[in-house]
Structure 1
Amino acid sequence: MKIRKHRLLLICSVGICVVSLLYCYKTLQQDTFHLSVHQSGIKSLFLRGFFWGDSLSIVLVGHNNILSNRISHQKEVIRKGASDGQVSDLVMPDPTGPHGDIHKRQYILQDDLTPYFLSTEAGVLCFREGTEMAEDTVDKAGQRLILEHHKKNNTVLDDRLNKTGKKAAKCTCRTGWHGPNCGVPTVVQHSNLRTKSHLSPRKVPRRIINAININHEFDLLHTRFHELADTVDLFLVCESNFTAYGNSKPLRFLQLLLNGTFSYIEHKILYIFLDHFPNGGRADGWIADDYLRTFLTKNGLSRVQGLRQDDVFVLDDADEIPLREGLLFLKLYDGWTEPFGIHMRKSLYGFFWRQLGTLDVLSGCTVAMLLTVYKGDGILLRRRDYYNMPGFRQYKKTSGHVLIPWSIGNPVHYAGWHCSWCFKPEGIYYKLISAQNGDFPRWGDFPEKRNLTYIKELIRTGGWFDDSDPSYPPSDPKEHMYAPKYLLENFEKYRYLLENPYAKR
Structure 2
Amino acid sequence: MKVRRHKLFLFCSVGISVVSLLYCYKSLQQVPFLQDDQSSLKSLFMFTDVFWGAPQTSSLHNTHNHHRAEQILRQVKHDGKESKVENLVGSDSTDLDGELHKKTYVLEEDLTPYFLHTDTGELCFSEGTRTVKQSNASESEDAKSKLELHKKNNTILVGHTVKERKVVKCVCHQGWHGPNCGVPTVVEHSNLPTKTSLKPRKVPRRIINAININHEFDLLHVRFRELADTVDLFMICESNFTAYGDPKPLTFRHLLLNGTFDYIKHKILYIFLDHFPQGGRANGWIADDYLRTFLTKNGLLRVQNLRQDDVFILDDADEIPFRDGILFLKLYNGWTEPFGIHMRKSLYGFFWKQFGTLDVISGCTVAMLLMVYKGDGILLRRREYFNMPGFRQYENKSGRRLMPWSIGSPVHYAGWHCSWCFKPEGIYYKLIAAQNGDFPRWGDFAEKRKLDYIRELIRTGGWFDDSLPRYPPTDPKEPMFAPKYLLDNYDRYRYLLENPYAKR
TM-score by length of 1: 0.77
1:155 maps onto 2:154 in alignment: no
The CA distance in 2 between the partners of 1:198 and 1:251, in whole Å, is 46
1:253-292 alpha-carbon deviations (Å, 9 max, x no partner):
0000000000000000000000000011001100000000
CA contact (8 A) 1:240 1:276 kept: yes
CA contact (8 A) 1:322 1:415 kept: yes
2:233 maps to a residue whose letter is L
1:231 maps onto 2:230 in alignment: yes
Give the gaps of 5 or more residues in structure 1.
Answer: 1-93, 134-144
1:128 CA displacement: 0.5
1:108 maps to a residue whose letter is V
| CA spacing shift, 1:483–1:96, aligned 2, 3 Å | closer
1:361 CA displacement: 1.1
Alignment partner, residue 253 of structure 1: 252
CA contact (8 A) 2:129 2:181 kept: yes
The CA distance in 2 between the partners of 1:382 and 1:158, in whole Å, is 50
Alignment partner, residue 129 of structure 1: 127
1:156 CA displacement: 5.5
CA contact (8 A) 1:157 1:169 kept: no
The CA distance in 2 between the partners of 1:159 and 1:351, in whole Å, is 51
2:101 maps to a residue whose letter is H
Alignment partner, residue 405 of structure 1: 404
| CA spacing shift, 1:204–1:344, aligned 2, 3 Å | same
TM-score by length of 2: 0.77
Greater mean deviation of Cα atoms: 165-174 or 489-498: 165-174
2:113 to 115, 119, 144: 115
The CA distance in 2 between the partners of 1:174 and 1:97, in whole Å, is 46
State, as a whole percentage, how many aligned pairs show the same letter: 76
Alignment partner, residue 377 of structure 1: 376
1:213-234 alpha-carbon deviations (Å, 9 max, x no partner):
0000000000000000000000
| CA spacing shift, 1:407–1:161, aligned 2, 3 Å | farther
1:98 CA displacement: 4.0
Alignment partner, residue 431 of structure 2: 432
Alignment partner, residue 202 of structure 1: 201
Paired residue secondary structure (2:364): strand
| CA spacing shift, 1:159–1:181, aligned 2, 3 Å | farther
Greater relative contact order (CA < 8 Å, ≥ 6 in sequence): 1
1:401 CA displacement: 3.2
1:368-427 alpha-carbon deviations (Å, 9 max, x no partner):
000000000000000001000000011011112331000000000000000000000000
1:147-296 aligned at under 5 Å gives the runs 152=143, 154-155=148-149, 166=165, 168-296=167-295
2:252 maps to a residue whose letter is F
1:9-20 aligned at under 5 Å gives the runs none
The CA distance in 2 between the partners of 1:151 and 1:363, in whole Å, is 47
The CA distance in 2 between the partners of 1:151 and 1:452, in whole Å, is 65
Alignment partner, residue 57 of structure 1: none
The CA distance in 2 between the partners of 1:269 and 1:479, in whole Å, is 33
1:166 CA displacement: 3.4
1:350 maps to a residue whose letter is G
Alignment partner, residue 10 of structure 2: none
CA contact (8 A) 1:121 1:147 kept: no
Alignment partner, residue 448 of structure 1: 447
Give the gaps of 5 or more residues in structure 2.
Answer: 1-91, 158-162
Greater mean deviation of Cα atoms: 333-342 or 156-165: 156-165
| CA spacing shift, 1:96–1:262, aligned 2, 3 Å | closer
The CA distance in 1 between the partners of 2:200 and 2:129, in whole Å, is 14
Paired residue secondary structure (1:262): coil
Paired residue secondary structure (1:347): strand
The CA distance in 2 between the partners of 1:407 and 1:499, in whole Å, is 30
1:159 CA displacement: 7.3
| CA spacing shift, 1:147–1:371, aligned 2, 3 Å | farther
The CA distance in 1 between the partners of 2:228 and 2:93, in whole Å, is 30
CA contact (8 A) 1:340 1:407 kept: yes
1:476 CA displacement: 0.2
Residue correspondences, number = 402
| CA spacing shift, 1:457–1:169, aligned 2, 3 Å | same
Paired residue secondary structure (1:188): helix
CA contact (8 A) 1:231 1:324 kept: yes
1:148 CA displacement: 6.0
1:462 maps onto 2:443 in alignment: no
Paired residue secondary structure (1:132): strand
Alignment partner, residue 473 of structure 1: 472
Alignment partner, residue 316 of structure 2: 317
Alignment partner, residue 7 of structure 2: none
The CA distance in 1 between the partners of 2:412 and 2:184, in whole Å, is 11
CA contact (8 A) 2:176 2:182 kept: yes
Alignment partner, residue 15 of structure 1: none
1:170 CA displacement: 1.0
1:176 CA displacement: 0.3
| CA spacing shift, 1:269–1:151, aligned 2, 3 Å | farther
CA contact (8 A) 1:159 1:168 kept: no
| CA spacing shift, 1:197–1:261, aligned 2, 3 Å | same
CA contact (8 A) 1:409 1:415 kept: yes
